[in-house]
Amino acid sequence: MDAVNVLATEVGLARACGAMHVPRSSVYRADARQRHLLAPTPLPAPRPAPPLALNQAERATLLDTLNSERFANCAPPTVYATLLDEGIYLGSVRTMYRLLAEVGQTAERRAQRVHPAYAKPELLATDPNQVWSWDITKLKGPCKWTCFHLYVILDIFSRYVVGWMIAPQESAELAEKLIADSVAKQAIKPGTLTLHADRGSSMRSKPVAALLVDLEVAKSHSRPYVSDDNPFSEAQFKTLKYRPEFPARFGCIEDARTHCQQFFAWYNGEHRHSGIGFICAGSWPQDWGQRPGLE
């Protein structure tokens, strides 16, 4: 733009822009931007203090009241209403908030429980029967508001279903029986297995916890309110429910058991898992056995 301005002093801006093939609007815009950068920014005028503003003594009294032992854990609206009931007015609710903001005390004032920091579970297995994942899902029953509960225990290394069960209800005792039978069937040695689950009531129940202690099985849980900390079981449930032959509803619990027997035979013997290089779970050399449904 400097060359255009120099030439414009000799032949005029229109001819200079025509000779340099530059739009005049670009020259005007550049000049306006330059004037804006060079012009000093005016300082805002100081705001006058409101005539009803609190003086320093009143501000100190209000702040001392808010920080007193009586009101230290109370929000400003509570303090305001309590003082009004006693016939005392030290300032409006907005004034209390403004005063607390000036001294950096606008955070939560109430005494609250500090939740522990939960680390993300790391599920790593280098051989079968090192880490199992288990969960419970619902299968819709013959009519609305009825369902059956499918318990599934999955080996995350081979993706082999080592145990499953269908029951009319969710029960910690049934989960305890399924885990004990699966551990015995696979001949798990004490201290070699980790069992991962989410934070459902059956997963955190005392019977299951006591069983794991007796079997010397380490337990692992998902973080609270985190839905993707148990991905292996969730992926297995999706494979089950997205199969073309999966019905919208089961006529009875026996129909659900028959369907799951056929599905898990296919899942363990034929299905190739993308997460382990499209290897079939039944191709592992270990002596795996199909776990029938328990009643």
At residue 127, the 3 state secondary structure works out as coil
Nearest alpha-carbon partner for 90 in 52, 134, 126, 59:
59
Mean pLDDT throughout 52-72? 92
Biggest alpha carbon distance in the chain?
A: 101
pLDDT per position as a tens digit, 176-191: 999 999 999 999 999 9
- What radius of gyration do the chain's Cα atoms show? 36
With respect to residue 272, please indicate whether it lies within any of the assigned structural domains: yes
* Total number of domains in the chain: 3
Angle between helices 76-85 and 56-66 (to 10 degrees): 100
Domain that holds residue 240: 131-283
232 and 146 share one domain:
yes
The pair of structure tokens assigned to 273 is 């898992």
257 and 177 share one domain:
yes
189 and 78 share one domain:
no
174 and 254 share one domain:
yes
Helix (H) or strand (E) holding 95: helix 93-102
Give how far the C-alpha of residue 159 lies from the chain's centroid of Cα atoms, to the nearest Å: 25
What span, in angstroms and rounded, lies between the C-alpha atoms of 253 and 250?
7
| Residue-level pLDDT at 47 | 84
What CATH number is given to the structural domain containing 185? Answer: 3.30.420.10
pLDDT per position as a tens digit, 123-152: 888 889 999 999 999 999 999 999 999 999
Q: What is the DSSP letter of 74?
A: S
Give how far the C-alpha of residue 38 lies from the chain's centroid of Cα atoms, to the nearest Å: 50
Residue 293's pLDDT band (cuts 50, 70, 90): very low
273 and 149 share one domain:
yes
- 165 strand-pairing partners: 151
19 and 71 share one domain:
no
Helix ranges, the chain (H): 2-11, 13-20, 24-38, 56-66, 76-85, 93-102, 172-185, 206-215, 231-241, 253-269
| Residue-level pLDDT at 96 | 94
With respect to residue 44, please indicate whether it lies within any of the assigned structural domains: no
Residue 295's pLDDT band (cuts 50, 70, 90): very low
At residue 280, the 3 state secondary structure works out as strand
135 and 261 share one domain:
yes
> Taking 50 as the threshold, does the pLDDT of residue 278 lie above it?
yes
The pair of structure tokens assigned to 18 is 């025509």
Query: Which residues in 205-226 are b (16+ Cβ under 10 Å) and which e?
Result: bebbeebbeebebebbbbeeee
Mean pLDDT throughout 118-127? 86
With respect to residue 157, please indicate whether it lies within any of the assigned structural domains: yes
User: What global pTM score does this model have?
Assistant: 0.62
> Taking 70 as the threshold, does the pLDDT of residue 247 lie above it?
yes
With respect to residue 118, please indicate whether it lies within any of the assigned structural domains: no
The pair of structure tokens assigned to 176 is 């305890």
146 and 264 share one domain:
yes
